[in-house]
Amino acid sequence: MKNPIAKLAIAAAVIVVAGLSVKFLTGTGSLAYALEQTIKANHSVRYLHIRDFDAEHEDAPKEFWVACDDQGQVENVRYYMPAWDAPGDGAKSIVWSQGVAKIWFQRKNSLVISQNETIPKWMLDIVQSSDPRYVVERLSKEEQEGKLTLDIQQPTDKSQPIIVTATYVWDGRSSSRQKILHVDQATKLVTAIEYYHRAPDGQFLYDGRQEHYDYNIPIAPEMFTLEDEVPADVIRVDQVTQEVGLPQGAMSDEQAAMEVARLFFEAVKAADYGKAGTLCAGAPASYMQERFGGMKIVRVASIGQPVPYPEPRVGGFIVPCEVEVQSEDGSGLATRHISLSIRRGDVQTQPDRWNIHGDDMK
């Protein structure tokens, strides 16, 4: 079974920020030193708008808005992930504030609310990657460690950007890569970062780029809320005010997955849709009743041995089950073979709890 609103906030959040692949650049040498000296020590970025372009999807960039407080800490975040980034989920809009992330899965018409403390850390790194003060410091350290070579070109024409090219040395594990920063000579801010990887023939091939806009231009507060955008009938999955899934305790992984399956079917059998919902990522009871109210379970016949989920990046197990259900016309019983996708750690603040996830029953 796969539940259409059970792709949870933390997984989405991880996919979203991993998609940025932001790495930091710093450097040494007279040119790097000269660049560093042109940056005011008290420089800071409070507001930033970013578009992130993938080489294969130039017409549909990811988009990010970040607001920091007076101390430089991330205060509010919004980002948009186009459908190509996660075809199973579809397009997503995410806002974060005061430790709580809200993700609107537009195709699934669901809004997942979850505690999350990793998003502001990632976004602070993004902000710092736009500030040459931090960039130069980090690039210097990596060059001193022999991880890269650095070239800085500062045109005499002040209307043209400073070009900082960092070429990473192949470490025997990952492919060699190159990043090119464009630094505005007037503001000393990074306006774009280009990403490349080295092909077998030695040429660097373009992977994508980030473009940075609206430095320190205040962002309207309504950008950091979804309440006026989501439909009135959106399915709200609140993972902040309730515990989701089943704690593992002393059970093995396989035992925990099997117990989640058993408890779910027993809950549906007893028409306890609230309990069934907590085992399906925290889905509301009304949604669970609408989805499973027509399945009249008479007996849970068997909970089979879990097998690893076929896609390792997803993790968890598929648990084959058999339940006896009353036929639709009430004339007899039928056996249904149902597989549930079950894994641990979908909710960041509840990492030891096992939960049903996915999109449909099979």
**Has residue 113 been placed in a domain?**
yes
Residues 160 and 254 in one domain: no
Q: How confident is the model at residue 174 (pLDDT cuts 50, 70, 90)?
A: low
pLDDT at 20: 33
Q: How confident is the model at residue 300 (pLDDT cuts 50, 70, 90)?
A: very high
Check if the beta carbon of residue 310 is closer than 8 Å to that of residue 336: no
Closest to 120 (Cα-Cα) out of 154, 71, 161, 59: 71
**Has residue 237 been placed in a domain?**
no
Q: Which of 192, 213, 234 is the last residue of a domain?
A: 213
**Has residue 74 been placed in a domain?**
yes
Alpha-carbon separation of residue 228 from 80, 101, 225, 232, 235 (angstroms): 16, 16, 7, 9, 15
Residues 207 and 284 in one domain: no
Looking at per-residue confidence, does 23 or 233 come out higher? 233
Please give the single-letter amino acid code of residue 154: Q
**Has residue 221 been placed in a domain?**
no
* Side-chain-side CA neighbours of residue 251 (13 Å): 16
pLDDT at 261 over 60: yes
d(CA 248, CA 259): 10
CATH of the domain at 53: 2.50.20
Averaged pLDDT, 222-236: 91
Residues 260 and 188 in one domain: no
Residues 209 and 349 in one domain: no
Place of tokens 């950008």: 223
**Has residue 142 been placed in a domain?**
no
Closest to 181 (Cα-Cα) out of 134, 218, 121: 134
Residues 67 and 123 in one domain: yes
Residues 254 and 314 in one domain: yes
Looking at per-residue confidence, does 213 or 26 come out higher? 213
Q: How confident is the model at residue 359 (pLDDT cuts 50, 70, 90)?
A: low
Residues 178 and 248 in one domain: no
**Has residue 232 been placed in a domain?**
no
pLDDT at 120: 83
Residues 207 and 347 in one domain: no
Residue numbers of the domain that contains 74:
9-22+35-130+152-213
Total domains present in the chain: 2
Averaged pLDDT, 7-24: 31
Closest to 93 (Cα-Cα) out of 185, 201, 223: 223
Residues 106 and 205 in one domain: yes
pLDDT at 9 over 70: no
Check if the beta carbon of residue 17 is closer than 8 Å to that of residue 93: no
pLDDT at 95 over 70: yes
Closest to 114 (Cα-Cα) out of 99, 104, 128: 99
Residues 167 and 251 in one domain: no
Averaged pLDDT, 35-46: 53
**Has residue 92 been placed in a domain?**
yes
Residues 280 and 207 in one domain: no
Averaged pLDDT, 38-43: 41
Report how far Cα 20 is from the mean position of its chain's Cα atoms: 10
Check if the beta carbon of residue 352 is closer than 8 Å to that of residue 343: no
pLDDT at 147 over 60: yes
Averaged pLDDT, 229-256: 91
Q: Which of 197, 213, 229 is the last residue of a domain?
A: 213
Looking at per-residue confidence, does 133 or 110 come out higher? 110
Residues 206 and 280 in one domain: no
3-state secondary structure the chain: CCCCCCCCHHHHHHHHHHCCCCCCCECCCHHHHHHHHCCCCCCCCCEEEEEEEECCEEEEEEEEEEEECCCCCEEEEEEEECHHHCCCCCCEEEEEECCEEEEEECCCCEEEEEECCCHHHHHHHHHHHCCHHHHHHHHHHHHHCCCEEEEEECCCCCCCCEEEEEEECCCCCCCCEEEEEEECCCCCCEEEEEEEEECCCCCEEEEEEEEEECCCCCCCHHHHCCCCCCCCCCEEEECCCCCCCEECCCCCHHHHHHHHHHHHHHHHHCCCHHHHHHCCCCCCHHHHHHHHCCCCEEEEEEECCCEECCCCCCCCEEEEEEEEEECCCCCCEEEEEEEEEEEECCCCCCCCEEEECCCCCC
Q: What is the largest CA-CA distance in the chain?
A: 87
Alpha-carbon separation of residue 208 from 213, 215, 306 (angstroms): 17, 21, 40
With a pLDDT cut of 70, the percent of the chain lying above it is 83
d(CA 359, CA 225): 26
Looking at per-residue confidence, does 361 or 341 come out higher? 341
Please give the single-letter amino acid code of residue 51: R
pLDDT at 266 over 80: yes
pLDDT at 137: 76
d(CA 127, CA 251): 43
Residue 177: count of CB within 10 angstroms of its CB: 19
Averaged pLDDT, 202-214: 92
CATH of the domain at 251: 3.10.450
**Has residue 190 been placed in a domain?**
yes
Averaged pLDDT, 32-58: 70
* Side-chain-side CA neighbours of residue 37 (13 Å): 7
